[in-house]
Amino acid sequence: MNLFRSGEHIERWLSGRDPGATIPVRKLSELAHAWWDDRLSLTWRPHTREQNQAILDRLGLTGQFWRLPET
Amino acid sequence: MPDDLVLRNVTFALFVELGRAPTADEVAAAAGCDRAEVVAGWQRLHAGHALVLDAVTGAIRMANPFSGVPTAHRVHAAGRWWFANCAWDAFGICAALHEDGQIETSCPDCGESLRVAVHDQRPDDESLLFHCLVPAARWWDDIVFT
């Protein structure tokens, strides 16, 4: 899970491997803040799969790549 | 013996207080329990993906989004430098601390240093891209690789 200078850099880094998913850094920041915001709260409880999937869905990170495993 | 949620919260609070991964002895002292109880609790938390232990030493490898070991993803926030497990976690450190920050990493392709300031949850350089190689269904198959 890395930051890249551009799409060209990602393609070169992949060197023919199947790509994963690419999102703009602004979307990444939104995702990180939604995902980790409560991590140090004294009332923190583990996120359920459904809670985490809802975060991804709300940010438009949909499709098979972003489907969390069923537990 | 503290329950696992309390142990987890003590561990994370101590990580932030110390600016590094706490040892089992340090957490035992803070939680008022035995080291063996901390180690056993950490193993249960590891199994539940609440933190990640080093496979050899049993020390904290990840208290996500914080890294217990040096990585290529550094974050300056809340007055000190932190290591993140990945680019996602680098932004996650700002999120968890509820602080602005400065992220330093490098492009895996060309090695060029990448610096991003985060202010009010927004990066100051929106030209960069994030690539996630592993599908979500397999993130925890090998979380260190992911």
Mean pLDDT check: name the lowest of A62-71, B3-12, B110-119, B136-145. Answer: B136-145
Planar angle of CA A33, A2, B144, nearest 5 degrees? 90
Q: Are B111 and A7 in contact (CB under 8 A)?
A: no
Average pLDDT of chain A? Answer: 94
Contact A26 B114 (CB under 8 A): no
Which chain A residues in 3-42 lie under 8 Å from chain B, judged by CB atoms? 3-7, 9-10, 12-13, 17, 19-33, 35-37, 39-40, 42
- The amino acid at residue B11 is T
Q: Are A36 and B92 in contact (CB under 8 A)?
A: yes
Q: What percentage of chain B has pLDDT greater than the value 90?
A: 90
What does pTM read for this prediction? 0.92
| Best of B133, B139, B144, B146 to mutate (most A CBs within 10 Å, chain A) | B133
Nearest CA among A25, A32, A56, A6 for reference residue B108? A6
Query: pLDDT tens digit string along B47-78?
Result: 999 999 999 999 999 999 999 999 999 999 99
Residue A63: C-alpha distances to residues B71, B130, B142 (Å): 30, 17, 22
Average pLDDT of chain B? Answer: 94
Mean pLDDT of B108-136: 94
Q: Which of B5, B107, B122 minimises the CB distance to A29?
A: B122
Taking the CA of residue B57 and the nearest CA in chain A, the distance in Å comes to: 25
- Cα of A67 vs its chain's centroid, Å: 10
Mean pLDDT check: name the lowest of A32-36, B5-9, B36-40, B138-142. Answer: B138-142
What's the order of all strands across the beta sheet hosting B101-106?
A: B52-53, B60-63, B66-67, B80-84, B73-77, B101-106, B113-119, B122-123
**pLDDT given for residue B1 in this prediction:** 61
In this prediction, the answer to ipTM > 0.90 reads yes
**pLDDT given for residue B115 in this prediction:** 96
Residue A63 burial by CB count (10 A; 0-12/13-18/19+): exposed, middle or buried?
A: exposed
Q: Are A13 and A4 in contact (CB under 8 A)?
A: yes
Q: Which of A22, A44, A69 minimises the CB distance to B130?
A: A22
Parse chain A into domains and list their residue ranges. 24-71
Interchain contact B48–A (C-beta under 8 A): yes
| Best of B4, B73, B91, B126 to mutate (most A CBs within 10 Å, chain A) | B91
Q: Are B75 and B48 in contact (CB under 8 A)?
A: no
Q: What's the pLDDT band for B142 if we cut at 50, 70, 90?
A: confident
Interchain contact A57–B (C-beta under 8 A): no
Task: Report how far residue B103's alpha carbon sits from residue B123's, in angstroms, rounded to the nearest whole number.
Answer: 9
